């Protein structure tokens, strides 16, 4: 125990339930949770745990794996302040003399004066909506065009399909056939673009397993048949979108965005803190008031000599970081139609030109398939 009343506990082979609960209480994030890591096969015999407690209360709880010359932190997307990062780094370097680098692949980190050489680059994003206290307040915050969009399409949908309904199911109330129907819409949409969905049979099983533990599914039906929905998880008071999809028969109703909007309203009604759209810079996320939070890949080195010894890794990480930043900047510039600068106009036309070209190729491929 040090002068700040900090104790550090380490765990090997099995992670106690107490540590799992501490991870939940600290981070309240899907990708920083024990359940996520367990379902996706990251908890193994060689998984190690670290918990720093101040006055008996956890202030840092990390799972990690020791690899040749490197430690890889398994929790992702949580916020870690500089003090906790330094404490963990010192612990690892003191305990493992063969370790020369510590990788935090996806983390929110405020680094100012870390006393170790390190690299920190944006690597992905989490688009987050901080939920207001009431649905009325949320509606008032939406842009005028978005409010009009939601009202117009919702009225059209109810007028032309009076049986339309939307309901939310959580944990044990979730029906597997609903989940599989929504996933099926996702696969159909990707197939229509001549792409393969990331949701293969194995991923579908993992989604179902996680939903049993932390599920929150929004289901839209017409005439009793699933026509759209959102697949989400809930950790603490935070909600996380995984899949959003709709039957292409209803393309003219903006049904995907409507389902997301209705899901958010239900999260507000349940007194949630935040709705995480996660990565993917899609326009509907921003229209529904998601705010982009860039997440970093952070690597801390034992010394500058050890950093130089890993020059290929250093160069590769820098390349990936600058590439992500440039692409993200370009997409955000293209998205801001209120920016009339030459650069914004160029970005807008470049991004949309590439998108139009891709769609033209997809249409051509579909025609060829139909002819064949």
pLDDT tens profile 299-344? 999 999 999 998 888 898 899 888 988 888 887 776 665 454 544 4
Contact 272, 236 (CB under 8 A): no
Q: Which of 323, 302, 288 is nearest to 135 (CA)?
A: 288
The pLDDT, as a whole number, for residue 346 is 47
Burial of 284 (0-12, 13-18, 19+ CB in 10 A): middle
List of residues 6+ apart from 213 with CB closer than 8 A: 35, 39, 171
Domains of the chain (ranges, CATH numbers): 6-121+296-302 (3.40.630.30), 132-272 (3.40.630.30)
Locate tokens 């720093």: which residue? 52
Q: Is residue 106 very low, low, confident or very high in pLDDT (cuts 50, 70, 90)? A: very high
Strand partners, 196: none
Residues 87, 52: contact at Cβ < 8 Å?
yes
pTM (two decimals): 0.87
The model's pLDDT over 108-155, given as tens digits with 9 standing for 90+, comes to: 998 988 999 999 999 999 999 999 999 999 999 999 999 999 999 999
Is 369 a residue whose pLDDT tops 50?
no
What confidence category does residue 3 fall into, taking pLDDT thresholds of 50, 70 and 90?
A: low
User: Exposure of 326 by Cβ count < 10 A (0-12 exposed, 13-18 middle, 19+ buried)?
Assistant: exposed
DSSP 193-211: TT---S--HHHHHHHHHHH
């Amino acid at each position: 125990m040090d002068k700040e009343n900090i104790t550090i506990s380490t765990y090997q082979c099995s992670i106690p339930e107490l540590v799992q609960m501490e991870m939940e209480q600290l981070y309240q994030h899907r990708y920083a949770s024990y359940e996520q890591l367990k379902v996706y096969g990251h908890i193994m015999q060689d998984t190690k745990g670290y918990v720093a407690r101040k006055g008996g209360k956890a202030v840092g709880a990390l799972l990690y794996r020791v690899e040749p010359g490197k430690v890889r932190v398994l929790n992702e997307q949580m916020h870690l302040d500089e003090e906790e990062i330094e404490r963990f780094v010192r612990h690892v370097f003191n305990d493992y003399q063969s370790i020369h680098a510590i990788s935090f692949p996806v983390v929110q980190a405020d680094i100012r004066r870390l006393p170790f050489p390190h690299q920190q680059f944006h690597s992905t994003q989490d688009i987050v909506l901080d939920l207001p206290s009431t649905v009325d307040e949320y509606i008032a915050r939406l842009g005028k065009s978005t409010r009009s969009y939601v009202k117009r399409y919702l009225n059209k949908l109810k007028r032309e399909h009076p049986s339309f309904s939307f309901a939310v199911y959580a944990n044990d109330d979730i029906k597997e056939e609903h989940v599989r129907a929504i996933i099926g819409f996702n696969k159909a949409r990707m197939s229509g673009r001549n792409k393969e969905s990331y949701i293969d049979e194995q991923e579908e099983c993992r989604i179902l397993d996680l939903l049993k533990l932390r599920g929150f599914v929004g289901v839209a039906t017409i005439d009793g048949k699933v026509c759209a929905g959102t697949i989400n998880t809930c950790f603490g008071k935070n909600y996380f979108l995984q899949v959003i999809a709709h039957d292409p028969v209803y393309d003219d109703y903006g049904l995907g965005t409507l389902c997301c909007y209705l899901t958010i309203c239900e999260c507000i009604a349940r007194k949630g803190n935040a709705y995480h759209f996660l990565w993917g810079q899609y326009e509907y996320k921003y229209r529904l008031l998601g705010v982009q939070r860039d997440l970093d890949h952070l690597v801390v080195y034992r010394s500058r000599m050890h950093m130089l010894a890993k020059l290929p890794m250093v160069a590769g990480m820098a390349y990936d970081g600058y590439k992500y930043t440039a692409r993200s900047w370009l997409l955000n510039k293209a998205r801001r139609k209120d920016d009339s600068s030459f650069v914004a106009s160029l970005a807008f036309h470049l991004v949309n030109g590439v998108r139009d070209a891709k769609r033209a190729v997809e249409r051509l491929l579909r025609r060829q398939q139909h002819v064949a």
